[in-house]
Amino acid sequence: MKVKLFLIAILIAGLITSCEPGNQLKELQSQLDTKKIELSKLKLEVKELQGHIDQLDTSKQNKGLAVHVLKMERAKFEHFFHANGSFEAVDYAYIIPETSGQVKEILVQEGSKVKKGQVLAKLNTDILENTIREVRTALELTTTVFQKQEELWNKKIGSELDYLRAKNQKQGMEDQLITLQSQLDMAIITSPINGIVDLIEPKVGELAMPGQLLMQVVNLDVFYLNVEVSESYLPYLKTGDPVSLHLMAYGNHYVESSIHRIAHIINPENRSFKVVIKVKNQDAMIKPNMLAEVKFKDFENDHAIVVPSIIVKKDFNGNYLFITEEVEDKMVAKKVYVETGKSRANETMILSGLKAGDQVIIGGYNQVVEGSLLSII
C-alpha cells in the first residue's frame, strides 16, 4: 500500500512539473549561463597558474616561451568605408518635336553617333512649304503696293490712310512669313548634344506630336556616379576628396576620381545624403545605370601606432595585449590595457596604452601571461 501511494505521489509531482516547462527552461538556461561564466574564470585562472608554474619551474627558466615581437613605430594610418552607386550620363537628351506632323524621314539609326546640330529626322512639311510660297508671293505684291504708296506720300499725293494701310499689310505679311519659317525649322529635328542615338520611337509615316518622345540621345564620354551615404559620414567628406571606384561588372577593375558635389539635403527616409562623382568614360566601359562600389577615406593619422587586430584581447577590465619587459636581466611578458581606435582589414590603431619603442608580442601571445619568461625568436 505504501509503495502504491509513493508511486502515485511521484506521478502527481511529474504532472505538476510537466505543466511548467517554461519555468524549468529558464532555470536551466540560468544555470548554463552561470556555468559558462565560471568556466571562463577557471580558464583564466588556469592560464595564470600555468604561467606562475613556468616561472618557478627551473627546467624552463633558462629557456622561456618562444615568442615573436614587433617594435612599435609611428606610421601613417588610413581608414576607409564603402558605398554603392549607379552611373548617370551627364548629357542625356529626350528629343521631343515642337510641332505636329507626319514623320517623313529618319536620318539616323539606333547606335548612330551624332554631332550637336545634326539633323535626326524630318516631318512632312509639304503644306507648310506651299503656304510659305503663297505668303512670299503675296508679300511681293504688298511690298510693291507699299513702295508705290510711299512714293506718293513722299510727294504729298494720296491719303495718309492708304499709306498706313499698305505699310501695315506689308509688315503683317513679313511677320507671317517669319512665323511660318519658324514652324518649318521646328519640323527639322536636330540633336542638341554630341552623343549616340539610344532609342527611336516612331517609324516613317507615323504621326509625331508635341510631348511625344521621338528619340533619346546620350553622351557616353562623361558620367555622374550618384552614391547614397549615411549622414554619420557627413563631417568626413568634402568636395575634391579622392575616391576609388570599383567597376564590379569588370571584375577587379578600378577607376580613380574625386568627389564632384555633396548634396545639402538629408533624405529623411534613410538618413543619407547624395555624393556625386564625375567620371570620364575611358574605353567606353561605363554604361548608364551600371553599378559601382566607391571607397571613401574618412580618417587619416600620419603618426599612428598600429598593431595586428588579432593580438588585441578583452577581459572584464577592457582591451589588452602583451609587451616585453626586462626584469633583472630577463625578458618577461607584461600585460597592458589599451584604448583602441579604428580598424582596417587586420590592423587596429591604438589610441593609448602603447608608445613608440614598445615591443608587442605578435607570435605566441596566446601562451603568455603576466610575468611569463620569454625567449624572443
| Class of CATH domain 98-217 | mainly beta
- The closest of 58, 42, 5 to 373, measured between CA atoms, is 58
Contact 90, 222 (CB under 8 A): yes
pLDDT tens per residue, range 150-198: 888 787 777 878 888 888 888 888 888 888 787 777 888 899 999 999 8
Higher pLDDT, 373 or 13: 373
For residue 11, pLDDT over 60 is answered with: no
The third-level CATH classification (topology) of the domain covering 58-76+302-376 is: 2.40.420
Read off the pLDDT of residues 329-348 as tens digits, 9 standing for 90 and up.
Answer: 899 999 999 999 999 889 99
CA distance 214 to 123: 11
Q: Where are the domains of the chain?
A: 58-76+302-376, 81-91+220-300, 98-217
Q: Which of 377, 312, 302 is nearest to 75 (CA)?
A: 302
**Residue 7: pLDDT above 50?**
no
Q: Crossing angle of helices 126-154/160-186, nearest 10°?
A: 160
Class of domain 81-91+220-300: mainly beta
Report residue 13 as a C-alpha cell: 509531482
- Say whether 98-217 and 58-76+302-376 share the same fold: no
Q: Is the dihedral of CA 154, 159, 160, 165 positive or negative?
A: negative
Whole-angstrom Cα distance, residue 214 to residue 80?
45
φ, ψ dihedrals at 239, nearest 5°: -60, 135
Confidence of residue 8 (pLDDT cuts 50, 70, 90): low
The pLDDT score that the predictor gives to residue 231 is 95
Taking only the tens place, the pLDDT of each residue in 71-83 is: 999 999 999 999 9
Q: Report the half-sphere exposure of 14 (CA within 13 A, side-chain side).
A: 6
pTM score: 0.62
| Confidence label for 147 from pLDDT (cuts 50, 70 and 90) | confident
Q: What is the pLDDT of residues 243-294, one digit of tens each?
A: 999 999 999 999 999 999 999 999 999 999 999 999 999 888 999 999 999 9
The pLDDT value given to residue 101 = 85
pLDDT confidence tier of residue 5, bands split at 50, 70 and 90:
very low
* Per-residue pLDDT tens digits for 223-245: 999 999 999 999 999 999 999 99
CA-closest candidate to residue 121, choices 188, 58, 198 = 188
All cell numbers assigned to 227: 552614391
* Separation of alpha carbons 177 and 4, rounded Å: 121
Mean pLDDT of the chain: 86
**Percentage of residues in the chain having pLDDT higher than 70:** 91
Backbone angles phi, psi at 115, to 5 degrees: -105, 160
* Cα 180 from Cα 175, distance rounded (Å): 9
Cell reading at 98: 515642337
Catalogue the E-assigned strands of 36-100: 65-71, 75-89, 92-95
Query: Buried b vs exposed e over 122-153: b needs ≥16 C-beta within 10 Å?
Result: bbbbeebeebbeebeeebeebeebbeebeeeb
